[in-house]
Amino acid sequence: MTGTIVVVGAGLAGLRTAEKLRTAGWTGAVRVIGAEDHLPYNRPPLTKEALRDGLGHEHVELRRRGSVGDVEWLLGREAVRVDLAGRTVHLRDGSEMTYDGLVVATGVEARRLDLGPARRHVVRTVDDAVGLHAALTAASRVVVVGAGFIGCEVACTARLLGCEVTVVDPMSSPLELQLGPLAGTEVGRRHRAAGIRFRLGRVVAGIEESAGGSAVTLDDGTILGADVVVEAVGSVPRVGLLEGHGLDLSDGILCDADLHPVADGMPVPEVVAVGDVARVPQWLLGGEARRIEHWSTAVDTAGHAARSLLATLTGTEVGAAYAPVPSFWSDQADLKIQSFGVPSAGLADVRVLDGDLAGSVALGYHRDGRLVGVVLLDLTAEQMRFRSLLVDSAQVPVTSA
């Protein structure tokens, strides 16, 4: 095979796609562009053990298989625009490169609130985690803005480091948008028992800095003193480089079932999107397209995207349909949360499947009476049973990467 495949994004999804391209038989050039200076690394530890212990890139770097030994890594170079008609990627430094096939693995960046220049930490990169670790070890008071998974994980880690922690969120319970109030209330109870404070139903109105630290003002007039403020209010897909081509970029990149972006209703066959940035039909939801930010999604999309792109470039068949079961885990101090499927699609109908909320429990998330997601709290030993229950209920053809 001859030609060049360019991968924009040097994270887990970009690395796994490069590996899968080689496994699938691509012998042409593969060039990976990464905005960070680092080779691909594992992000889940950044809010947990890496943040707790101040671990740098060498401790979270992903192992690269020998098959990608000849892949060209262009690190510290940001792609800013793609010319789909000319099959060219333009970089911020003014250089450009042409491609026969393009993989968009740009991921997401931290969402930021409009709170002026006041310093707030985010945790998206390994450098973010190293900087926040240094700040936490010198801090006694921490305010975390946002009670989603990142916010709760950071709050637990800061508490383990001995900080007084207050979490602010507009919802009535932690993780409510992701897991609903039933699970969220129980998670909140456990975190309060560990000494974490919550200001729920509140938003941050402003932050002022002084020599003594930060003053975080809430919408009810409450002022929280802080040595460190962490902002964990979600993410924004990095899609700017594809603007102007008729693509649906309203929430990541809308793709067809083979991970090709859709422009004016038609797939762009020589391009695929993978990982957090891809909004893909979910068979658990009857083909409804959703963007899912899970570690497993990076791996699942990489495998199918590689086969799909090579099918275009070589005129072969794609093979099995893309039909994974999304999964993720979240370690929050002593609490282990595991999820299968798409719980956020079934927040209106959540049922206890096994156990009890105060101990180990399995929760089922239903849409139109059908199970679409399962969440386990401290029930690791039963994960395969409940994954199988979800698959059997959904009756979808499950594929592997």
Average pLDDT over residues 132-154: 98
Cα–Cα dist 196/170, whole Å: 17
Q: How confident is the model at residue 120 (pLDDT cuts 50, 70, 90)?
A: very high
Average pLDDT over residues 303-326: 93
Q: How confident is the model at residue 34 (pLDDT cuts 50, 70, 90)?
A: very high
The pLDDT of residue 334 is above 60:
yes
Per-residue pLDDT at 395:
67
Q: How confident is the model at residue 393 (pLDDT cuts 50, 70, 90)?
A: confident
Q: How confident is the model at residue 400 (pLDDT cuts 50, 70, 90)?
A: very low
The pLDDT of residue 67 is above 50:
yes
Average pLDDT over residues 25-33: 97
The pLDDT of residue 327 is above 90:
yes
The pLDDT of residue 320 is above 90:
no
Q: What percent of the chain is modeled with pLDDT above 70? A: 98
Per-residue pLDDT at 212:
85
Per-residue pLDDT at 398:
46
Per-residue pLDDT at 48:
97
The 10s digit of each residue's pLDDT in 344-388 is 999 999 999 999 999 999 999 999 999 999 999 999 999 999 999
